[in-house]
Amino acid sequence: MIKILANDGISQAGIDSLTEKGFHIVTKHVTQGDLINVINTENYEVLLIRSATTVRKDLIDACPHLKIVGRGGVGMDNIDVDYARENGINVINTPAASSSSVAELVFAHLFGMVRFLFDSNRKMPMVGDTDFKNLKKSYVNGRELAGKTVGIIGFGRIGQEVAKRAIGLGMKVIAHDKFIEEANITLDFFNGDKKSFTIETESLKEVLKNSDFVTLHVPKTDDKAVIGVEEIGMMKTGAGIVNAARGGVIDETALMFALDKEKLAYAGLDVFDNEPTPSIHICMHNAISLTPHIGAATLEAQDRIGTELANQIATHFNK
């Protein structure tokens, strides 16, 4: 029987699907330092991970019987993908499974930003019962998303899901992508109706210059942040920005400076430099809406991730 270690967990739907196909799956977490020994001792042929576990050259070299490494979600920056494949390991992920969940979190941050929920939810428990009227006055300058322009940087699966929700809210959508020139966006309505839109991508400068809100959906690169001092300078004064992609895509120091100087009005961050120990200055900033890297953390997305991984594993082993 083929044994699978889901080291960072997997949904019950994924467990059921794998079990039905004849696999033996274990979900007990093994620490990084013990992982090589456990994989070899227990003869695991499949290792499933999320962001908590890394698969680097040392593990690949030390575990010759490993056939598959699966990453639940999109990014695979915690896996030495090329090296693994060169050594005969099939590396799989689930790029489409969490797109809707991430897109909805973007709008959770956007709504929270424009109505100051990130600040109100901190202050109401402390002084809501004693300073209600002053708190109310401090949040009178809320804004509506309808009629505003959202700039989407990175117009792949997640960016296009963000576009669908923005269009549904009556927002104007502009986008930038290094590899995609245009995308056809189709909205599916509750009554079965459909409406399609074609969005042509623009230069990064044009998107930054014309957006009321910017949201990032690009991978992290080694050279520099996608949004730094120069890029923030191109943005509208009073704009907002959301990063639910990867830590390091935004220069956090430049972001805090821009917020302090009121060049930007607010930011929403789901990802951070130095995870899982982000800067206390970022965490304490009074103009940032914060979540702890939960873009894909919905029950629906976890079920899709689990079943998609199960199907790919079954295909690999001809089950």
Tell me how far apart the alpha carbons of residues 107 and 113 are, in angstroms, rounded to a whole number: 9
Contacts (Cβ under 8 Å, ≥6 apart) of 157: 95, 96, 99
Active site residue 165: no
- Amino acid letter for position 267: A
Active site residue 246: yes
Tell me how far apart the alpha carbons of residues 130 and 234 are, in angstroms, rounded to a whole number: 42
Tell me how far apart the alpha carbons of residues 299 and 252 are, in angstroms, rounded to a whole number: 30
Tell me how far apart the alpha carbons of residues 266 and 263 are, in angstroms, rounded to a whole number: 9
Provide the CA 133 distance to its chain's centre, in angstroms.
37
CA separation (Å) from 197 to 163, 187, 188, 257? 10, 8, 12, 37
Please tell me which residue in 20, 144, 262, 275 is annotated as part of the active site. Answer: 275
Please tell me which residue in 246, 285, 304, 308 is annotated as part of the active site. Answer: 246
- What DSSP string runs through 199-221? EE---HHHHHHH-SEEEE-----
Tell me how far apart the alpha carbons of residues 18 and 311 are, in angstroms, rounded to a whole number: 8
Strands (E), the chain: 3-6, 24-26, 46-49, 68-71, 90-93, 149-153, 172-176, 182-188, 194-200, 213-216, 239-243, 264-269, 288-290
- Amino acid letter for position 145: L
Please tell me which residue in 85, 115, 143, 293 is annotated as part of the active site. Answer: 293
Active site residue 176: no
**Residues designated catalytic:** 246, 275, 293
